[in-house]
Amino acid sequence: MKRMMMTIGVVRACERALGRYGARLGNRQRTWRSAAVELSGTLVMPVRHFETGSTTGSVMQETETEVLKSLVGGMMNHARGFPIKGDGVEILGSPSQFYNALLQGVRDAQFRVVIASLYIGTGSLEQELLDAIADSLARKPSLQVTILCDALRTTRPFKESEKYPSSAAMLSNILSSDRVAWRKSTSRDRPKEPLRIGLYQTPMLSKMVKMVLPVRVQEVLGVCHLKAFIFDDNIIMTGANMSTSYFTVRQDRYLCFPNCKNLASYLCSLINTVALHSYNLDESGQLQPRFAHLNPVTESELFATEFSDAVKELTMPSLRTETLEGVDTWVFPTVQMGPFGIRQDEEALLWLLKQLPGGSDIHLSSPYFNLTPEYEDALLKAALEKNVTVLTSSPKANGFYGSSGVSGWIPLAYSLLEQDLHNRAMSIYDKEMNIMSIRNPKGLMIYEYERAGWTFHAKGLWCNLPGAEDGPSVSLVGSSNLGYRSRDRDLEAQVYLFTLAPRLQQQLERERDELFVDASRVTSSIFQGPDRQGGFFASLALRFMKPWL
């Protein structure tokens, strides 16, 4: 207990420091955002507010196309938009398909491979992927490879691996000059740095804090949680990492965008920007600052300022005057980087939930159920006039289920948080209207995913607009769990998808429905089970640790 209280004290000190960073950077962000909004008046698709009815009984009827045009126009105030061909998008359904797509992408790439993952595992499947990267570098002199991972997660010791003590040790092996054939190439087309491995570290982790906090606990201060895979102009957006479980028995989502040059280049620029502000991994497995003045430990404030400026410049909204005419699908990438005052994804999603018209059918998935108050309130308010369904993992399908030590209590913590939302949904209190205990006319339902031998990691959103016949017109996929960590400490990347392409809509519907095949609706009785009871001490601990889950 003494050690836990010491840990909480250190974490709270970090939280106060994080607040100071946010305050300084937030002023810069408000100036940037105001400029964007001022310019956005040139859009030809104004944002409309939809109503299901009024006191006079009038109803505004709009087609799916008109609604989507309005949503796309409004989204351009929040992020850069990229028009694509919806029929070309492919949605993978299984971890094995995901792994095969990665392997094929590495083998087929001609000029760039850009990978962002929390970490890379140390198993045989991961080794095969790294071997494929080394082979492609040897065969293709002009190929440029960038791998971005988190420094804390990548250097954490792997007890399961006999060959490599950590993910960093495995990655450094591909850099070893005496074993890698691609280093011997003398081609003039060879890039100056054919393989770049960047390991991001949060500036919140000072030397003193690192000495006090246990290795695994250090990660709650913030990690690079981006997940994206680019092979030339082909993209895979997912929430999955490069690890054996994600290739075999951990269910996630995987959206493939082929031949999307502009979108691919944008995502590559984002990942490269983070990589340039990260440590370099050298051949010996050591972390080396790329630039002395950008060391997140010794120059944390300067690092935070320069990193923030670089990302904000990249993520400026579209401010376009284009319309949806002739385009059936739009993609909007967003980022959430709370430590640097960048809250683009949070603002976009809250705006979207508010703008979706009454009668919409919304499904939202988060495997680690710790929604922020803003998201919870937005969903409960949406449930007054829309069908809202939330999907999460059952305790047994949680990735921490069966873990030793404190981690073993995490599934119970998420279950207690899930119970809180369930109870709120049963009795809505609307302060503005001063109405209590109203059963919402549409409703919010919660489902839990559980499949024998599998864990659940799918996250994102699907929305069927009123009158849609083919499936969801709006979707969101990426790395964010929509919790406190995603909002305040981790680096996240997502893409919002708006489409009228029937084939893509049908794929989205099939993807969503297949996730619910192994899901059961949550009722109050579920939380009465002995494995769902927390007790006083669990509730007290949850109160302190909720902002860090």
Angle at the Cα of 233 (from 227 to 235), degrees rounded to 5? 25
CB 441 within 8 A of CB 384: yes
For 234, half-sphere exposure in the C-beta direction (CA atoms, 13 angstrom radius) is: 18
Distance (Å, whole) CA 401 – CA 412: 9
Distance (Å, whole) CA 71 – CA 48: 8
Distance (Å, whole) CA 231 – CA 132: 13
Distance (Å, whole) CA 543 – CA 546: 6
Q: Which residues contact 9 (CB under 8 A, 6 or more apart)?
A: none
For 440, half-sphere exposure in the C-beta direction (CA atoms, 13 angstrom radius) is: 24
Give the CA distances from residue 115 to residues 92, 98, 197, 236, 405, in Å, rounded to whole numbers and listed in that order: 18, 14, 10, 10, 32
Q: Which of 227, 277, 312, 457 is catalytic?
A: 227
Give the CA distances from residue 288 to residues 135, 216, 227, in Å, rounded to whole numbers and listed in that order: 26, 21, 23
Q: Which of 225, 277, 312, 459 is catalytic?
A: 225
**Angle of the 373-382 helix axis to the 410-426 helix axis, nearest 10:** 40
210 catalytically annotated: no
Using CA atoms in the order 420, 394, 366, 218, what is the torsion angle rounded to 10 degrees?
Answer: 90
232 catalytically annotated: yes
Task: Identify the three-state secondary structure at position 357.
Answer: coil
Q: Which residues contact 411 (CB under 8 A, 6 or more apart)?
A: 395, 396, 398, 400, 401
Beta-bridged to residue 365, according to DSSP, are 391, 460
For 85, half-sphere exposure in the C-beta direction (CA atoms, 13 angstrom radius) is: 6
363 catalytically annotated: no
Exposed e or buried b for every residue in 4-38, given b needs 16+ CB within 10 A?
Answer: eeebeebbeebeebbeebbeebeeebeebbeebee
What would the 3-class secondary structure string for 415-476 be?
Answer: HHHHHHHHHHHHCEEECCCCEEEECCCCCEEEEEECCCCCEECCCEEEEECCCCCCCCCEEE
Q: Which residues are catalytic?
A: 225, 227, 232
